[in-house]
Amino acid sequence: MQSVDRAIAILYLLAERGRDGVGVTEVATELGVHKSTAFRLIMALENGDLVEQVEERGKYHLGRGILRLAGATTAQLELPTESRPVCKRLAVELGETVNLAIIDTGEATNILQEYGSSAITGRNWIGQRTPLHATASGKVLLTWSDRAETKEVLASTLERYTPRTITDNSALKAELTRVREQGWASTVEEFEVGLNALAAPVRNAAGDVVASVGVSGPSYRLTVESFPEVADRLMDGAREISTRLGWFGPAQR
């Protein structure tokens, strides 16, 4: 814990000094530790891209990793605000319920929902946690999630919700590969009988997938035959939300 406290103190010190940077000796003095201890802490932070050396001057400042973390946090805070108008439009265009979901401790959590004209008595999914392997949004989040988390899910026992739920780990791995290649995910009555869904990835300013925007509806309305056309509209919406969050690059796979 002492090392963590000292590392945090270094980050705050560098934030205060800004572009001028701070040398190892000054860090050691501020922390009241030996230069070798200060150097080891700085190296650990540098390995994590949280600290960078200022050219050849022997001084350090905050690294690009800090910007990446800040960007991810900002994107999470801005997600509902920036996504709402796009989700509203998609709900009107598609006539079905549109949701925005994020990954949260091994499940997908819906944080925004807009109803389409056909979803008069639609279910409220806001705040609901749904399985990653059995939902379209979950598949998107799992496809572009941390590798360790993906491996954990692929190695776990997959719960069956309907006769169509993917419960074979190798089959799920193949499904995630397909999702990455085509850029969107779908489910055909895999979480609930009679319910189909599609989802596409939403990226933050750094290009990381931070959410999924999805549409769901009864299988007799949201048919498999309609998936390609619906997916195109959904991906356009996902790209617009990503742009609102600061992502202007090409879609990554």
- What are 91-108's pLDDT values in tens digits? 999 999 999 999 988 899
Q: What local confidence, expressed as pLDDT, does residue 57 receive?
A: 61
Q: How far apart are CA 182 and CA 136, in angstroms?
A: 13
CB of 62 closer than 8 Å to CB of 41: no
Indicate the SS3 state at residue 66: helix
| Sign of the dihedral defined by the CA atoms of residues 149, 154, 156, 158, in that order | positive
CB 240: neighbour CB atoms within 10 A? 18
- Extract the runs of DSSP E, i.e. beta strands, from 136-251: 185-188, 195-203, 209-218
Per the listing, tokens 């008069």 go with 120
Per the listing, tokens 């169509």 go with 164
Phi, psi of 211 (to 5 degrees): -165, 175
**Residue 170 clears pLDDT 60, i.e. is over it:** yes
CB of 70 closer than 8 Å to CB of 205: no
Per the listing, tokens 């989802």 go with 199
189: left (phi over 0), alpha (psi -120 to 50) or beta: left
More confident residue, 8 or 241: 241
Give the tokens for residue 65: 């990793």
CB of 3 closer than 8 Å to CB of 41: yes
Neighbour-count burial of 46, counting CB atoms closer than 10 A to its CB (0-12 exposed, 13-18 middle, 19+ buried): middle
Q: How far apart are CA 182 and CA 241, in angstroms?
A: 19
Phi, psi of 54 (to 5 degrees): -80, 95
pLDDT band at 140 (very low <50, low <70, confident <90, very high): very high
CB of 72 closer than 8 Å to CB of 82: no
Q: How far apart are CA 198 and CA 214, in angstroms?
A: 5
Q: What local confidence, expressed as pLDDT, does residue 231 receive?
A: 97
Q: At what angle do helices 147-155 and 136-143 cross, to 10 degrees?
A: 130
Give the tokens for residue 188: 């055909």
Question: pLDDT tens across 24-57, in order?
Answer: 888 888 888 888 888 888 888 888 888 888 665 6
The DSSP secondary-structure symbol of 225 reads G
Q: What local confidence, expressed as pLDDT, does residue 35 receive?
A: 86
**Residue 19 clears pLDDT 80, i.e. is over it:** no
**Residue 252 clears pLDDT 60, i.e. is over it:** no
CB of 192 closer than 8 Å to CB of 161: yes
Q: Which of 8-12, 25-29, 223-227 has the highest mean pLDDT?
A: 223-227
Residue 250 exposure: Cα atoms within 13 Å on the Cβ side: 2
Nearest Cα to Cα of residue 151 among 204, 106, 198: 106
